[in-house]
Chain A
Amino acid sequence: MNPLASLGIILVLALLAGHLAKFVHVPQVTGYILAGVAVGPSFLGWISHENLASLEVFSEVALGLILFSIGSVFEVSRFREIGRRAVLITITESMLAGVIVSVGMRFAGQPWTVSMLLGAIAIETAAASTLMVMRECNSAGPFTEMLTGVIALNNICCLVCFSLAATAIDLSLRSNANTGLSYTLQESIFPLAWQLIGSAALGYLIGVVFSAWASRVNDPGETLILMAGAVLVCVGFAEWLDLSPLIASLAVGATMANLSLRSRRLFDALSRTDPPLYAIFFVIAGADLNVALLPSLGIFGAIYILGRAAGKFAGTRYAARLGGMKSGIQRLLGLAMLSQAGLAIGLVLVTEDRFPQIGPTISTIVLASVAIFELVGPLGARFALQKSGEVREQ
């Protein structure tokens, strides 16, 4: 099928799946993903791997938009309220999930390199599907606010941990190879610093420029063009400079939220027009899920899934109690953070590229687990939001 027809089918299917999902009271995101699984190479094959590859640009833009929206949580006035506790919760749940998975893998017999990388990847919570569920539920309140903040920080935390783990593995491999230490450090640590600081710098610059421009734009159509331009420029330049489009988008969102007088209006303008893009994003994500991998999960898959879930539950609960938050947030936050997709898959690709010898092991475990988390996660998030009492169904 040609890419345009694929795109059309994806949109129509997403609409149908969304209706169906509403009917059976599951999140639309789950409907989209299931529709994607159905038409993807795993089952019907209407959308081939070639189609998926040609539609990848939509995924990148959609992910950029999502992180851009999440970035608005870092508006100083908003973040001041949740900041300290959000950081605490993020660090606790991330570390706990990562450590449990790593230790479990090591005990189950995986080499320490694989264990560490899997632990780092396990930290990630999918920003996109969680945010979409929040939007669908039109939720607002302290729980939603905290969840948004934690997810934004969680992705940064995951990237940092993965980079550190990869650096450690690099160092151990290089020390065997007798190359100069300075060279090794530059090769190993530079990517981490570059991805974090460089991405933030790029996001900030773009944010500043577009905020200044936004104050001179009043027409809603032009506003939309401006915002789409900002996101595309950000994602495009980030990829060109080997930066993280994720963090850069987050930084653009944060910068514009803080600098622009009309930041709310800007973000609203975007959120009215991006549903087709998100629908495409999730159907593609579903089609990309390799369901055939599920039987290969085995003991390592079980450790990954259970260890990660346990870490998220226990970490959020403990940290929320420590931060003196309501018991509702304590109990529900972990459930809302089960989704896993985008960044985790991206890190698998990085692993395969950087450590080809252990890439396949990690890829099988993570991709199979992602298939489960991506289906269960939105359900958990929706349930948690409903229980928190912050859902305002339209």
Chain B
Amino acid sequence: MKDSVDRKYVIVLGAVALLILVGGAFLRPKKAAPQPPSPSENANLQSRIQRDYLAETASYLAQRAQLVAQHVLYDADHGSSAVVWEKPGQVLTTPGSTPALFDPPLLLRTRESGTATPAHAAEQNSTGWLIVVARTASGSVLWTPAIYGGTRQSTCANAGYNELLLNVPLDGSLSGAGAFDLDGILRGIVAPCNGTFHLISVASVARLLQAFNTPERQIRAAYGFLPSELDGAAKRLFATESGLFVTEVAQDGAAQQAGLKAGDVILSIGQRPVAQVAELANALASPAEVGRDLEVLRNSRRLSVTFPSANDAAYAGSADSTLGIRILSPSPTGETIVVEPGTPAYRSGLRTGDRVIQVGETRSRTLATLRGAFTRSGERPVLVRYLRGASERAALVEP
């Protein structure tokens, strides 16, 4: 300290300063606490925050949708979307955009495309966001965000599958669409089934494709008819030891063009008798030019039907679809029927909504006539031809 300074004054002044500071610190007006916002302001703020949050979410989902859309193509042949499946050039598509009774609901096709393959994931039971992405004829991306709440067991074309339950309705514009999670992993395919559209889980898709890959379906895909093996009663009815019963002939298919009809019994191919569907499938698939002559039993008469080779037989616009289905305008022919589950007709494959056109030898459009024919058949098996969707089918109804 400088000598000229009187310490007493310094200390007194210091005490005064301390007093001022302490007093002032107590007396100074407290900084007003920020006013809590009024309820209306609060609500306003809340709604704005929420709106911002939702807008952010929406833009994020749109961005994800554009990203996964590269895996989705438009299948002009079927008018539905197609998702690249497992490797580039192979797409999974559906037979169309109307929820008719398609069978099967999924088609595997090859197609030239350079798009990347989406990652496939094992079945997951968790819930969460999905982006359902389809492509329109003009090539634009059609998408909708969805929340899936879980899975349930369903059947489609007699094959069981896991259906992912969504909170959004699925319609024809989304037929064939892929459902991707937010990581861009494919979770399911939208496919027509039992008259409506469903989201089939990816794991089930693989299973369904395998199930559809039976000899029957190979034949149906290539030639447009469905054979079934004869049981004892049928063999007695047709008085033959071997042969295959034609239960369905698709319109405009190779089989129909060759002259095959539902209800025919294929006795042999290229002089070789056939008793099993696999035998017929192998014979038809063999590259040999010969051996495509079928001996057919129709109305107790033997006919010969010549099939084109497998390559020429392709139809429905896809050379290699496991099954091709053409969409036709609803047939005006035939009376629709109601079939009770558990009845012989139900067991033989008839379903409510089928249009019966022939019972035994009687061809008619009126129900009364057909009912008479049923009555006349008594205890014997009776051949029933009917229309379902785009096919003419036949069934042996055995009491």
- Enumerate chain A interface residues (CB-CB to B < 8 A): 186-187, 190-191, 194, 197-198, 200-202, 204-205, 208, 211-212, 215, 241-242, 258-261
Find the residue from B17, B25, B29 having the highest chain A CB count within 10 A.
B17
Known: A190-B28, A190-B29. A198 touches B21 (CB 8 A): yes
Report the separation of the CA atoms of residues A241 and B10 in the bound assembly, to the nearest whole angstrom. 23
Chain B residues lying within 8 Å of A259, measured Cβ to Cβ, are 1-2, 5, 10
A205 touches B14 (CB 8 A): yes
Report the separation of the CA atoms of residues A186 and B30 in the bound assembly, to the nearest whole angstrom. 12
Scan B4-24; emit 1 where CB is below 8 A from any A CB, else 0.
010000100110111011001
Q: Which 3 A-B pairs have the closest CB atoms?
A: A201-B17, A201-B20, A198-B24
Chain A residues lying within 8 Å of B16, measured Cβ to Cβ, are 201
A241 touches B25 (CB 8 A): yes
Chain B residues lying within 8 Å of A258, measured Cβ to Cβ, are 2, 5
In the complex, B27 has a CB within 8 A of chain A: yes
In the complex formed, the residue of A with least CB distance to B2 is: A261
Chain A residues lying within 8 Å of B5, measured Cβ to Cβ, are 258-259
Task: List B residues 227-270 near A (Cβ within 8 Å).
Answer: none
A211 partner, pick from B1, B17, B20, B31, beta carbons under 8 A: B1
A197 partner, pick from B14, B20, B31, beta carbons under 8 A: B20
Find the residue from A186, A201, A202, A241 having the highest chain B CB count within 10 A.
A201
In the complex, number of A-B residue pairs with CB atoms less than 8 Å apart:
52
Q: Number of B residues contacting the other chain (C-beta, 8 Å)?
A: 17
21 CB < 8 A contacts A-B: A186-B29, A187-B29, A191-B29, A194-B28, A197-B20, A198-B24, A200-B17, A201-B16, A201-B20, A201-B24, A202-B17, A202-B21, A204-B13, A211-B1, A215-B1, A241-B21, A241-B28, A242-B28, A258-B5, A260-B1, A261-B1
Report the separation of the CA atoms of residues A60 and B17 in the bound assembly, to the nearest whole angstrom. 24
B1 touches A205 (CB 8 A): no
Q: How far is the CB of B29 from chain A (nearest CB, A)?
A: 6
A208 partner, pick from B10, B28, B31, beta carbons under 8 A: B10
Q: How far is the CB of A42 from chain B (nearest CB, A)?
A: 30
Known: A204-B14, A208-B14. A194 touches B2 (CB 8 A): no
Q: How far is the CB of B10 from chain A (nearest CB, A)?
A: 6
B24 touches A194 (CB 8 A): yes
Chain A residues lying within 8 Å of B31, measured Cβ to Cβ, are 242
Known: A190-B29, A194-B24, A242-B28. A212 touches B1 (CB 8 A): yes
Q: Is the contact region of chain A dominated by helix, strand, or loop, or is it mixed?
A: helix
Given contacts A186-B29, A201-B20, 17 further A-B contacts (CB under 8 A): A191-B28, A198-B21, A198-B24, A201-B24, A204-B14, A205-B21, A208-B14, A211-B1, A212-B1, A215-B1, A241-B21, A242-B28, A242-B31, A258-B2, A259-B2, A259-B5, A261-B2
B17 touches A204 (CB 8 A): yes
In the complex formed, the residue of A with least CB distance to B5 is: A259
A205 touches B18 (CB 8 A): yes
Report the separation of the CA atoms of residues A258 and B25 in the bound assembly, to the nearest whole angstrom. 27
Report the separation of the CA atoms of residues A194 and B21 in the bound assembly, to the nearest whole angstrom. 9
In the complex formed, the residue of B with least CB distance to A204 is: B17
In the complex formed, the residue of B with least CB distance to A187 is: B29
B2 partner, pick from A191, A200, A260, beta carbons under 8 A: A260
In the complex formed, the residue of A with least CB distance to B20 is: A201
Report the separation of the CA atoms of residues A202 and B31 in the bound assembly, to the nearest whole angstrom. 20
Q: How far is the CB of A147 from chain B (nearest CB, A)?
A: 26
B27 partner, pick from A190, A200, A201, A261, beta carbons under 8 A: A190
Chain B residues lying within 8 Å of A204, measured Cβ to Cβ, are 13-14, 17
Chain A residues lying within 8 Å of B29, measured Cβ to Cβ, are 186-187, 190-191
Report the separation of the CA atoms of residues A198 and B16 in the bound assembly, to the nearest whole angstrom. 11
In the complex formed, the residue of B with least CB distance to A206 is: B17
Chain A residues lying within 8 Å of B18, measured Cβ to Cβ, are 201, 205
Q: How far is the CB of A330 from chain B (nearest CB, A)?
A: 34
Chain B residues lying within 8 Å of A202, measured Cβ to Cβ, are 17, 21
In the complex formed, the residue of A with least CB distance to B23 is: A198
Report the separation of the CA atoms of residues A261 and B1 in the bound assembly, to the nearest whole angstrom. 5
Q: How far is the CB of A336 from chain B (nearest CB, A)?
A: 31
Report the separation of the CA atoms of residues A201 and B19 in the bound assembly, to the nearest whole angstrom. 9
In the complex formed, the residue of B with least CB distance to A263 is: B2
Report the separation of the CA atoms of residues A260 and B13 in the bound assembly, to the nearest whole angstrom. 16
Chain B residues lying within 8 Å of A190, measured Cβ to Cβ, are 27-29
In the complex formed, the residue of B with least CB distance to A208 is: B14
Chain A residues lying within 8 Å of B17, measured Cβ to Cβ, are 200-202, 204-205
Chain A residues lying within 8 Å of B13, measured Cβ to Cβ, are 204, 208
